[in-house]
């Protein structure tokens, strides 16, 4: 049994197709004519551009605009002056072949990206490699390898690039398994949205299997079995059956009202990143959307999303939720989430730096586009707007002043907006949790972001593997801040929810109900089991005990 990282849920039993790492014959030596090689390089670039535009177009149809946008990053590398100039100067100065120059520079850049601390940037190493391989293949004159898969294929690869993933034949590939990758790699994100079980980060699985092997993939536990014994197969099917039955049994709760044993109504909502994720929220019986992370509208692209584009995205979610509450969080970019379109400065401590509301207040030009879009979309449903990374009431007031500017602008333009939007904040900085009672007097609702609250309270970077042992949302200090936030909100009769990962943790839910939490928001797949726990929990004292 091999243990990796569970990237996408589900079970699959199939036949391995080992994706060969394509071998290149690089033209070596220092005797190439620079003019000829530069011309070959330019031709290859043009061809790569055409190929990528076509893949992008196809991916937009098959997988949606969001996934297609990944290829913008590839197109961007093709145009990147630093990268291209480095290749050209090797051709000129060292008289290398275009292939050799490209291979050397991609190695250098790849290593540089891979050594960066920022996980998002590390993942760009995969994009760069994808583009370089495409260029090298074109330069070598080879045709792309046609992957033909048998039925029930488990694709095993060192890594899958976004273009590989987009090109998967979904009628035949039933799971995939890779040496590389983490839960936040594009490949893992795509697997979840394609609902293909996937295990990544297996380190050297490609060295341990061959095409034709029988493989069992457990996407829930992140486990993989190769040529299993009859006993292992039996156990695997038992687990799969159990999982199916659990999923099936939970379906009875889809339309059930989320109410505790002692009669408190609680909202179990979904976290989404893209408008189309709303389908999963609905399929899992979400009482609302508790966190729509709008920064994904800004990522993996070269330009900024327009007001119109944002209105459409927000309107879609609001309309599909048919009057159920939808909390849209304003842009939370920075920290681990980079956006090429914003050209943010590099910082020593990005999580403590220029991000989220801090950036938005500093860039009203950018922020107001989103605020106007939110106001305009508000007439299509039950909108609540949440500001991320609020560290004190002044930031909330400053954000609301910009909201008022936008409202006045829209009035002048005779564009309608809803007067019933609720305005709230994410409580994810300890200062805000400590001052929750004072802040709650001004805001309409609070939602606790435990992912950041935990890292700030315990001074423990949520991305660092080295200190992950310290990262504990159940630490009494974090729990006390959660309690203070709930009490602070309730003192003013305001709803207090939670949208960090802790909200979906089966071990924490009953306890949080007891603390008085009013709303839980989590990945759609966790909603029904959370509801099941809440139905068997007691809230204790009534909410208005303060």
The yes or no reply on residue 287 touching Mg ion (CB under 5 A) is no
Site string for Mg ion, 406-445 (x = CB under 5 A): ----------------------x-----------------
> For ligand PEP, which is the closer residue by CB, 225 or 517?
517
Kindly report the number of other CB atoms within 10 A of residue 22's CB atom: 12
Q: What is the dihedral of CA 269, 274, 277, 281, to 10 degrees?
A: 10
Residue 521 Cα to chain centre, angstroms: 15
Nearer residue to ligand PEP within complex by CB, 99 or 443 = 443
d(CA 519, CA 96): 62
- Single out the catalytic residue among 17, 406, 490, 499: 499
Quote helix, strand, coil % in the chain, to nearest 5. 50, 15, 35
Complex with ligand PEP: residue 44 or 333, whichever CB lies closer:
333
Residue nearest to Mg ion (CB): 452
Partner from ligand PEP, Mg ion, none binding residue 450, C-beta < 5-8 Å depending on class: ligand PEP
Please choose which of Mg ion, ligand PEP, none residue 288 contacts, taking the beta carbon within 5 to 8 angstroms, the exact cut-off set by kind: none
According to DSSP, the β-strands at 223-226 and 2-3 are antiparallel
Residue 306 has, within 13 A of its CA and on its CB side, a CA count of: 3
Cβ proximity of 429 and 452 under 8 Å: yes
Binding site for ligand PEP (CB under 6 A): 291, 293, 332, 428, 449-452, 499-500
Q: Please state the closest distance from residue 402 (CB atom) to Mg ion, in A.
A: 21
To the nearest whole angstrom, how small is the minimum distance from the Cβ of residue 453 to ligand PEP?
A: 7
User: Considering CB distances under 5 to 8 angstroms, the limit depending on partner class, which of Mg ion, ligand PEP, none binds residue 130?
Assistant: none
State how far the Cα of 25 lies from the Cα of 162, in Å rounded to an integer: 24
CA distance 516 to 538: 10
Q: Does 501 bind Mg ion (CB under 5 A)?
A: no
21, 93 contact by CB (below 8 A):
no
State the minimum distance, in angstroms, from the CB of residue 74 to ligand PEP: 25
Nearer to ligand PEP, 418 or 451 (CB): 451
Set 186, 360, 406, 490: catalytic member: 186
Q: Is 181 in the site for Mg ion (CB under 5 A)?
A: no
- Which tokens hold the place of 132? 């370089």
Q: Is 499 a catalytic residue?
A: yes
214-218 β-sheet, strand order: 2-3, 223-226, 214-218, 11-18, 153-157, 173-178, 198-200, 5-8
DSSP per-residue string spanning 310-334 = HHHHHHHHHHHTTTSEEEEEP---B
| Partner whose footprint covers residue 293, from Mg ion, ligand PEP, none (CB < 5 to 8 Å by kind) | ligand PEP
Q: Binding to Mg ion (CB under 5 A): which residues in 307-336?
A: none
Least separation in angstroms between residue 443's CB and ligand PEP is 17
Q: Are 234 and 253 in contact (CB under 8 A)?
A: no
- Candidate residues 34, 285, 449, 516; the one interacting with Mg ion per rule CB under 5 A: 449
Q: How far apart are CA 534 and CA 264, in angstroms?
A: 10
Beta carbon of residue 380, minimum distance to Mg ion (angstroms, whole number): 26
Instruction: List the one residue from 452, 461, 501, 518 that touches Mg ion (CB under 5 A).
Output: 452
Task: State the nearest-atom distance from the C-beta of 427 to Mg ion, in Å.
Answer: 10
Closest contact distance (angstroms) between CB of 329 and Mg ion is 9
406 is catalytic: no
Phi, psi dihedral angles at 57 (to 5 degrees) = -60, -45
Q: Which does 499 bind (CB under 5 to 8 A by kind): ligand PEP, Mg ion, none?
A: ligand PEP
| Tokens 């330009």 found at | 303
Q: Hey, how many other C-beta atoms are within 10 angstroms of the C-beta on 344?
A: 17
Sign of CA dihedral 128, 132, 135, 137: negative
Identify which of residues 267 and 452 has a Cβ nearer to Mg ion in the complex: 452
Region binding Mg ion by CB under 5 A among candidate stretches 36-44, 51-59, 345-353, 446-454: 446-454
Which residues are tagged catalytic? 186, 499
Q: What are the residues binding Mg ion (CB under 5 A)?
A: 428, 449, 452
């Amino acid at each position: 049994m091999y243990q990796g990282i569970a990237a996408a849920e589900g079970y699959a039993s199939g036949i391995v197709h080992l994706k060969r790492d394509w071998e290149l014959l690089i033209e070596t030596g220092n005797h190439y004519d620079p003019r000829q090689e530069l011309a070959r390089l330019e031709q290859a670039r043009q061809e790569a551009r055409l190929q990528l535009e076509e893949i992008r177009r196809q991916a937009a149809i098959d997988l949606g605009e969001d996934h297609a946008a990944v290829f913008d990053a590839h197109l961007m590398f093709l145009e990147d002056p630093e990268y291209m100039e480095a290749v050209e100067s090797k051709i000129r100065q060292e008289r290398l072949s275009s292939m050799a120059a490209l291979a050397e520079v991609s190695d250098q850049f790849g290593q540089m990206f891979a050594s960066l601390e920022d996980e998002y940037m590390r993942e760009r190493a995969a994009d760069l490699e994808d583009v370089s391989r495409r260029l090298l293949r074109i330069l070598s004159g080879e045709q792309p390898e046609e992957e033909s898969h048998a039925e029930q294929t488990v694709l095993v690869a060192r890594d899958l690039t976004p273009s590989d993933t987009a090109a998967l034949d979904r009628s035949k590939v039933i799971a995939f398994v890779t040496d590389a990758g983490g839960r936040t790699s594009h490949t893992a994100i795509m697997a979840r949205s394609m609902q293909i079980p996937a295990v990544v980060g297996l380190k050297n699985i490609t060295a341990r299997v061959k095409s034709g092997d029988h493989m069992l993939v457990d996407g829930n536990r992140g486990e993989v079995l190769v040529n299993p014994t009859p006993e292992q197969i039996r156990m695997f099917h038992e687990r799969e059956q159990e999982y199916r039955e659990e999923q099936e049994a939970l379906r009875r709760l889809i339309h059930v009202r989320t109410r505790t044993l002692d009669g408190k109504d609680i909202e179990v909502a979904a976290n989404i990143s893209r408008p189309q994720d709303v389908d999963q929220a609905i399929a899992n019986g979400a009482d609302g959307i508790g966190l729509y992370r709008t920064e994904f509208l800004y990522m993996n692209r070269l330009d900024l999303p327009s007001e119109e584009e944002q209105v459409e995205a927000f309107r879609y979610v609001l309309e599909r939720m048919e009057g159920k509450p939808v909390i849209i969080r304003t842009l939370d970019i920075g920290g681990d989430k980079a956006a090429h379109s914003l050209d943010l400065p590099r910082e020593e401590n990005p999580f403590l730096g220029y991000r989220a509301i801090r950036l938005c207040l500093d860039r009203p030009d950018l922020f107001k586009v989103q605020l106007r879009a939110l106001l305009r979309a508000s007439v299509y449903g039950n909108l609540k707007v949440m500001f991320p990374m609020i560290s004190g009431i002044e930031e909330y007031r400053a954000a609301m002043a910009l909201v008022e500017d936008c409202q006045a602008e829209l009035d002048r333009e005779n564009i309608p907006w809803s007067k019933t939007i609720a305005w709230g904040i994410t409580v994810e900085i300890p200062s805000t949790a400590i001052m929750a009672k004072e802040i709650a007097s001004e805001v309409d609702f609070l939602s606790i972001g435990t992912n950041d609250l935990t890292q700030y309270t315990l001074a423990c970077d949520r991305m660092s593997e080295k200190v992950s042992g310290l990262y504990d949302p159940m630490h009494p200090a974090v729990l006390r801040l959660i309690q203070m936030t709930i009490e602070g909100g309730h003192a003013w009769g305001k709803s207090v929810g939670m949208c960090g990962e802790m909200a979906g943790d089966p071990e924490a839910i009953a306890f949080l109900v007891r603390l008085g939490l009013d709303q839980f928001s989590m990945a759609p797949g966790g909603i029904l089991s959370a509801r099941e726990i809440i139905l068997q929990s007691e809230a204790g004292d009534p909410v208005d005990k303060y």
